[in-house]
Each structure stands twice: as C-alpha cells, then as structure tokens.
Structure 1
Amino acid sequence: MSSKQPNIVMLMTDQQRWDTLGCYGNEIIETVNLDALAAEGTVFDHAYTPSPSCIPARASLLTGLDPWHTGLLGMGAGQGPMETGFAHTLPGVLSDAGYHTQGIGKMHFYPQRSLNGFHHTLLDESGRVEDPQFVSDYREWFDRHKTGPYDFVDHGIHWNSWMARPYHAPEYLHPTNWTVNESIAFIKRRDPRKPFFLKTSFARPHSPYDAPPVYFDLYDRKQLAEPFIGDWAHMHNKPEDAVSPTAWRGVRKPEEIRRARAGYYGLIHHIDHQMGRLIQCLQREGLYENTMIVFLSDHGDMLGDHNLWRKTYAYEGSAHIPMIVKLPRSYGRTEARVSKPVAIQDVMPTILDIAGVDIPGALDGSSMRGLMQGQGTASANWREFVHGEHCACYSDEQEMHYLTDGRTKYIWFPRMNSEQLFDLEADPGECRDLTRQQEEQQRLQQWRRRLIDILAERNAGLTDGVNLINQAGKPPIVSPHYKARVKAGR
C-alpha cells in the first residue's frame, strides 16, 4: 500500500454523553479543539451506541457487527468477556492491508494482552486485572514516575461511583496525559513508509470523576444544568438503592449531583486540551492534511438524569453519543452535519471505505462516506432507525431494547413487559412518557411492530411474530454467536 494512503486516528472517550460538546449546543463546557475539528469535518447529530456499556459497544466498534452477531448483549448474564475469535476486526483488516496499527489506552480485550488485529497495544485498563499478574502499562509508568508514597487510586473513589473530587496526584500523572503522551510517541516512532491507524482510547470521563484541580475548580464555580427528571422517574427513587457509593440509581443531594457534573465536565475539558496536543503533533509532523480523524464515545453517562447513574440505559444520556469525522483534505469539503441515525458499527466500514480497503461482506454497519459527501442516493437508502439493546445488569428493570430515528424513541423492557415512548423533538430530556396518550397509540404500535420484525429473525423467544413476549422469570438470552466465536478463538 502506498504511503499516500490516508492515515487514520481514532479518538475515543469512555462514557461521554453526546450533549457535552460546544458543537452539540452545550454553552457551558469548553471543548475548543473538538469544536474546531467539528468545523472542519462532519458532526453526526443522531449517533447511537448499539449497546450502552463498555464491552458490547467496543465489540461492535471493533467488528462492525451488531451485538447479536458479536454475541455480546451487555455485561454479565453470560455475555462476556469480549474474548477473541472474530472473523474480522478493524485493526486486523487494516494491518492486512499494509497499515501500521497501534492501540493506546483502554481496549477492554480478553485476555487483556490480546491484540485483536493490532500490531501492538499500550494499555490503561482502569484497574481491571482479569489475567494472572496483569499490570497495565499505565500503572507501571505511574509507579515509576510518581513523586510520593501514593497509589493511582488513592483519591478514594470507586471506578463506578457517582462521587467526585479533584485528582489527588500531579496532573502529568493523570491517565489522560499518559494516553496522549504515548500517542505522540507512536507518531514519532512509527514506520514512516506505511500509513498508520492509531486508536487513542481515553479511560475518562468515565468515573472516577477526578479531573485535575484546575479543571475541576473551573466547573465547580459554574452554574451547571440540572438533571432531567421525568414524570415516570419515581420508579428509580428507592432509598435502599441509593445508599451505596456505587449506586446505579436513587435520589442524591443537589450538591452531590452538581459536584459529579463538575468533575465530569472538568474531565472532558482536560481531554479536549490533551487532544489538542495530539492534533498539533499531527500538524507539526506534516500528517494532518492526509489524516482521517474519527472522534466518538462508546456510550454516555446518566449523571443523575431520572435519578439514574452510569450507563446501560436506552435514555439519551446513556445511549446517544457524540461522533465527529474529519476526512483527509483531498476528499474535499464534507457536509457540516448529518441528521440520519448512525451507530457505532458504521465506523469500521466507513474507515475501510476511506482507506480504500475492501469491506468484509458480513458486516452489519454501513459506510457513512456517502452521507458525509452529500450523496443523495446514500441518504435516500440509509436506514430509518437504529436498534440498541442491553441485558439485565443491575436489575431486571434494566434489560431493554430500543429503537430511535433521533426524533422518536421506543423502549421495551422485556423482564418488566413494559414500554416507553418519547418525542425527542418536543421532549429531548425524555421527561414525558407517551405510551398512555390515546393520540399516540398509532405511533406506539408502529414502533412496536418494527421491534417485533427485528426480534423475529432471532427466533429466541422474544416474540411470536405478532406480540412481544414477557421474559419475566426466564433465563437470560445468550446469543448463539458468542459461544461459537469463543470456541473458534481458543
């Protein structure tokens, strides 16, 4: 492959909501570098995760497949770990096509040193130790460079907590800085005769909400938006669920919610500054013009919306993600914004399309190139809506399937046998459930029918082709593709 082939940089954050960038209308947070990238590229207004938690979302990104076909429908309940054995992976296809491929930061693979097609990885696994004697590259580096007798988790906040405080160590030791430092080092020591694919995968703004003090304090002084609380959110008010420092739901004090949001916003501001360093490096090295840059997150964070925390939910804070794509300059000016519904599994075929590499025929995702370049046929033939799902993780009330086109959202809770319907144009915070409104019954039936048609193809007992079937008390559904793939990978 010629060195003139475009380089590809994927900038990925962990658990970042779609509405936390200036280019998505947030007037409080400062994301200058990402907003500048958006001004040069395309902003996808309705980008969604196919499964709003780390492992299944990242598996779809890695493979271009829906969760049913990766075999990962969530976290837990027989759905993981990610394992290996995928027929095709994005870094693997690019490596085979002559790219020098490198993954830096959070990969969430299993075994943890699996490459899944990368030539090399440098890992920050946020404290996960899933292999005997595994120590992440970040933690080894932290221990070598720290200035006192403290550990990288001595701030006292759990990896899934709603609690927040400023980072306890010098800023240069923060994992966000390390991730960019290693990315810049790769760019300088890569094989110069090959195009490269670099995945820079941040472990934040996923909790702990531990922004360095300068960023934390900035947002702690600001007036931040209050959480959305729906007319249905009382179902998540149970006091017994709220007492844990890792509670996934429950009513918290206003100052606790505001502090969490200050830490979360501060982490994103910090990431934006560090991304700016990486972009400046590309420019200094003369690589920027011929580099495709993809920015996205795996899923969002509820941040107290509807008395919920973390992810795995179908709601906008959890399922709606930011996505920005800047093509190499030689591709010309692209559409500033795309309103068609896109999903994480569309990223792999898009990158391969731009790289001029054959796209494997078995992918569920589609190339977004035509949407970005304003091709009318691509827009006319694009999907009408996206489908997402997650198995029960914290409780039966969580298991869900959702459909959305960015204007309407339909959610089905199989183990509760209940539904929700939201008009996202009139009610972007999903505060008014329309399922009981008589004038919305036709719309409700239309979206329910769409989900029945999708699930009927699985023949997994979720529908009889006419109705959705209550799953209360039944064993969790495990995709047959999971066991088949894991067996193939061993």
Structure 2
Amino acid sequence: MSVEQPNILLLMTDQQRWDTLGCYGNNTVETVNLDALASEGTVFEHAYTPSPSCVPTRASLMTGMDPWHTGVLGMGGGQGPMETGFAHTLPGELARAGYHTQGVGKMHFYPQRALNGFHNTILDESGRIEDPNFVSDYKSWFDQHKTGAYDFVDHGIHWNSWMARPYHAPEFLHPTNWTVNESISFIKRRDPRKPFFLKTSFARPHSPYDAPPFYFDLYQNKEIPMPVVGSWASMHDQPVDAASPVAWRGIRKPEEIRRARAGYYGLIHHIDHQIGRLLDCLRREGVYHNTMIVFLSDHGDMLGDHHLWRKTYAYEGSSHIPMIIKMPAVFGKGKARISEPVTVQDVMPTILNTVGVDTPHSVDGKSMVPLIVGNGTDWRSYVHGEHNTCYSEEQEMQYVTDGSTKYIWFPRLDTEQLFDLNVDPGECHDLSNEPGAQLELQRWRDRLIAELVPRGAGLTDGKRLLSQAGKPFLVSPHYKARVSGESALQ
C-alpha cells in the first residue's frame, strides 16, 4: 500500500453530549479547535448512539454491527463485557490492508490487554481492574511522574458521581494530557512506510468532573445553562436514590448542579485544547491534509436533565452524540452539515469506504461518504437504539428517532413516550397520551416493531409490543455464540 493512502485519526470522547460544542450552537463552552475542524469538514446534526453506555457503543464502533449482532445490549443484567472473538473489526481490517494501527486511551476491551485488531494499545482504563494484576499504562506513568504522595483518585470523587471539584494534581498529570502526549508520540514514531490508523480515546468528560483548575474556575464564573425538566419528570424525583454520591436520579441543589456542569464544561474545554496540540502535530509532520479525521463520543450525559444523571437513557442528553468528519484533501470539503440520522455503526464502513478497503458482510452500518459528498439519496428514515436494564428495571428502553421525532418504549413498564424534537428539543412535553398524536404514535410504534420482529425474542408478536415485566433479562444469542466459538458471526 502506498504512503499516499489516507491516514485516519479517530478522536473519541467519553460521555459527551451533542450540544456541548460551538458548532452545535453552544455559546458557553469554548471548543475552538473542534469548531475549526467542523468548518473544514462535515457536522452530523442527528448522530445517535445505538446503546447509550460505554461497552455496547464501543463494540458497535469496533465492528460496525448493531448491538443485537455484537451481543452487547448494555451494561446491565444478563450482559457480559466486550469479549474478543469478532471476525471483523475496524483496526483489524485496516491492519490487513497495510495500516499501522494504534489505540491510545480508553478501549474498554476484555481481557483488558486484548488488541481486537490493533497492532498495539496504550491504555487508560480509569479505575477498572478486570484482569488479575492489571495496571493501566496511564496509572503506571502517573505513579512515576507524580510530584507527591498522592494517588490518581485522591480527589475523592467516584468514577460515576455527580459531584465535581478541580483536579487535585498538576495539570500535566491529567489523563487528557497523557492521552494526547501518547498520541503525539505515536505520530512521531510510527512506521513511515505505512499509512496509520490512530484511535485517540479520552476518558473524559465522563465523571469524575475534575477539570484542571484553570478550566474549572473559568466555568464556575460563567453563566451556565441549567437542566431542562419535563412535565413528566416527577417520576425521577426520588429522595432515596438522590442520597447516593453516585445517584442516577433525583433532585440536587442548584449549586451542586452548577458545579457539576462547570466541571463537565471545563473538561470539554480542556480536551479541545489538547486536541489542538494533536492536530498541530499532524500539521508539523506534514500529514494533516491527507488524514481523515473523525470526532465523536460514545454517548452523552444527562447532567440533571429531567432529574437524571449519567447515561443509558433514550433522551437527547444521553443518546444524541456529536459527530464531525473531515475527509482527506483529495475528497474536497464535502457538505458542511448533514441532517439525515446516522449512528455509530456507520463509522466503520465510512472509514473503509474512504480508504478503499472492502466492508465486511458482517457490518450493519452504512457508509456516510455518499452523504458527505452530496450523493446520499438512498438513506435510512430513522435510527434504532436500545439499552437493557442497568440502574433500574424501569429504565430498560428501546427507541427510534429521525432527529425530529422520537419514540421511546420502556419494556418492563410497558409504557411509551413521544416527543416532537423540532418544537420541544428538551423533551419536556410527552405527546403519547394526546388524542391528536395517536396516528403519529402508531406510526413510530410500528417502526420499532419492524426493528424487533426479526429477533424473535418475545418483544413483539408483529402487531403489538409485549410487556417484559417479570421476564428474564434480554440476552442476544450472538453473544454466547461469539465467546464460545460456536459461530464466527461472518
């Protein structure tokens, strides 16, 4: 393969909402470098996660498959980790095509040192220790370079907490800086005879909301949008749940919410500055123009919207993600903004299509290249997402949306919601019980039924959605087949 073959930089943040970039209309958080990247590429206005938590979405990113086919439907009951055994992965296909492939940061694989097609990974797995004696590369580096008798978690905030405070150690020790440092090191030390694929995967702005003091203080002193709370959201005003330092729902004091959002925005601003360093490195190395750059997050963060925190929900704060793609210079700029609904599974075929590598038959996603270059006339009408039971059985959900309307079904409650996102982007007014919305409700319910019928998993009889109250957790047969080796899932 020629060195003129485009390079690929995949930038991934963890738990970043779609509405936290200037190019998506946020006038509070400063994201100059990502906004500049967006001005050179394409902004996908309606990008959604197929399953709004870390492991299932990352499995879909790596394979281009829907959660049902990866076998990972969430992070709750009946689900296992992202085991190995995938016949085709994005880095694996690129490695076979002659790319030098490297993963830096959060991979969330199991076993944790599994490569899943990469030639090499350098890991920051936050606090996860899932293999005996596992120590992340970031933790080892932190311990070697810290300036005192402290640990990387001595700020006292849990990895899934709503609490926030400034970073407790010098800024150069922050995992965001480390992730970019290691990415720059790879760019400088890569095999110069090969094109490269680099996945730079940040562990933030996922909690802990521990932005370095400069960034934390900046947003503490700014006006920050406060949560939206729907007329239906009182169901999540649960004092017992709210009492936990890792609460997934409940009403918090305004100063606690403000502090959380200041830390979260500060983390995004910090990431943007560090991404700027990495992009400058590409320019100095003379490879920026010939590099395809994809930026996205795995899912969002509710940040108190509707009295909810963290992720796994179908609501916009959790399921709607940012996505920006800058094509290699030979393709030209492409369309500036795209409104068609896209999802994480589309990233793998888009990258393979761009660099001229065949897309495996196992891939469920579609190449977005036709949309980018303006030939995307045959595109899907909506996307489908799901998450199994996690924080509570009542939050197990299935959803379908086109970015303008969203339908949500809660299988264990057997209830549904319908939102008009054009007039109600905060999803504050549920239309499902309004007489004038019943035809629209049925239309979207039928779309979900059509998605679920082929599974034969007891979620529908083809005409109705069937309550899952009291039934065993939903488990995809593809998971057992893959990890047992019974099927290569070709």
State TM-score, norm by structure 2.
0.99
User: How far apart, in 1, do the equivalents of 2:59 and 2:176 lie?
Assistant: 22
SS class of match (2:393)? coil
**Moved beyond 3 Å, runs of 4+:** none
Equivalent residues, number:
487
SS class of match (1:289)? coil
User: How far apart, in 2, do the equivalents of 1:447 and 1:439 lie?
Assistant: 14
User: How far apart, in 2, do the equivalents of 1:180 and 1:363 lie?
Assistant: 30
State the one-letter code of the partner of 1:427.
Answer: D
Q: Is structure 2 residue 6 aligned with structure 1 residue 6?
A: yes
Alignment of 1:17-32 (within 5 A): 17-32=17-32
Q: Is structure 2 residue 379 aligned with structure 1 residue 385?
A: no
SS class of match (2:57)? helix
Alignment of 1:403-418 (within 5 A): 403-418=400-415
- Could you tell me which residue of structure 2 aligns to residue 451 of structure 1? 448
1:454 deviates by 1.0
User: How far apart, in 2, do the equivalents of 1:444 and 1:3 lie?
Assistant: 52
- Could you tell me which residue of structure 2 aligns to residue 432 of structure 1? 429
Q: Is structure 2 residue 405 aligned with structure 1 residue 423?
A: no
- Could you tell me which residue of structure 1 aligns to residue 291 of structure 2? 291
1:94 deviates by 0.2
User: How far apart, in 2, do the equivalents of 1:301 and 1:198 lie?
Assistant: 25
**394, 401, 423: which one aligns with 2:391:** 394
1:76 deviates by 2.5
User: How far apart, in 1, do the equivalents of 2:153 and 2:342 lie?
Assistant: 36
- Could you tell me which residue of structure 1 aligns to residue 96 of structure 2? 96
Q: Is structure 2 residue 9 aligned with structure 1 residue 15?
A: no
1:407-432 CA distance string (max 9 Å, x none):
00000000000000000000000000
Gaps in structure 2 of 5+ consecutive residues: none
Q: Is structure 2 residue 334 aligned with structure 1 residue 318?
A: no
User: How far apart, in 2, do the equivalents of 1:381 and 1:443 lie?
Assistant: 23
Are the equivalent residues in 1 in contact too, given 2:407–2:419 (CA < 8 A)? yes
SS class of match (1:288)? coil
1:362 deviates by 2.1
User: How far apart, in 1, do the equivalents of 2:40 and 2:403 lie?
Assistant: 23
- Could you tell me which residue of structure 1 aligns to residue 331 of structure 2? 331
1:145 deviates by 0.1
Q: Is structure 2 residue 217 aligned with structure 1 residue 213?
A: no
- Could you tell me which residue of structure 1 aligns to residue 198 of structure 2? 198
SS class of match (2:444)? helix
Q: Is structure 2 residue 460 aligned with structure 1 residue 467?
A: no
User: How far apart, in 2, do the equivalents of 1:271 and 1:398 lie?
Assistant: 31
SS class of match (1:65)? coil
Q: Is structure 2 residue 62 aligned with structure 1 residue 65?
A: no
User: How far apart, in 1, do the equivalents of 2:328 and 2:462 lie?
Assistant: 46
Alignment of 1:304-315 (within 5 A): 304-315=304-315
**464, 474, 488: which one aligns with 1:477:** 474
State the one-letter code of the partner of 1:107.
Answer: M
User: How far apart, in 1, do the equivalents of 2:328 and 2:421 lie?
Assistant: 33
1:308 deviates by 0.2
SS class of match (2:300)? coil
User: How far apart, in 1, do the equivalents of 2:255 and 2:88 lie?
Assistant: 47
Alignment of 1:2-151 (within 5 A): 2-151=2-151
User: How far apart, in 2, do the equivalents of 1:287 and 1:487 lie?
Assistant: 42
User: How far apart, in 2, do the equivalents of 1:67 and 1:27 lie?
Assistant: 34
SS class of match (1:52)? coil
State the one-letter code of the partner of 1:129.
Answer: I
1:397 deviates by 1.1
1:338-388 CA distance string (max 9 Å, x none):
00000000000000001111111221000000000011xx2x210000000
SS class of match (1:151)? coil
1:87 deviates by 1.2
Are the equivalent residues in 1 in contact too, given 2:230–2:427 (CA < 8 A)? yes
1:332 deviates by 1.2
State the one-letter code of the partner of 2:74.
Answer: G
State the one-letter code of the partner of 2:457.
Answer: A
Identity %: 75
State the one-letter code of the partner of 2:458.
Answer: G
SS class of match (2:5)? coil
User: How far apart, in 1, do the equivalents of 2:450 and 2:117 lie?
Assistant: 34
1:186-225 CA distance string (max 9 Å, x none):
0000000000000000000000000000000000001110
State the one-letter code of the partner of 1:323.
Answer: M
Gaps in structure 1 of 5+ consecutive residues: none
SS class of match (2:142)? helix
User: How far apart, in 2, do the equivalents of 1:80 and 1:190 lie?
Assistant: 34
State the one-letter code of the partner of 2:405.
Answer: T
1:333 deviates by 2.3
User: How far apart, in 2, do the equivalents of 1:372 and 1:412 lie?
Assistant: 32
State the one-letter code of the partner of 1:433.
Answer: D
User: How far apart, in 1, do the equivalents of 2:135 and 2:485 lie?
Assistant: 27
Alignment of 1:248-397 (within 5 A): 248-375=248-375, 378=376, 380-397=377-394
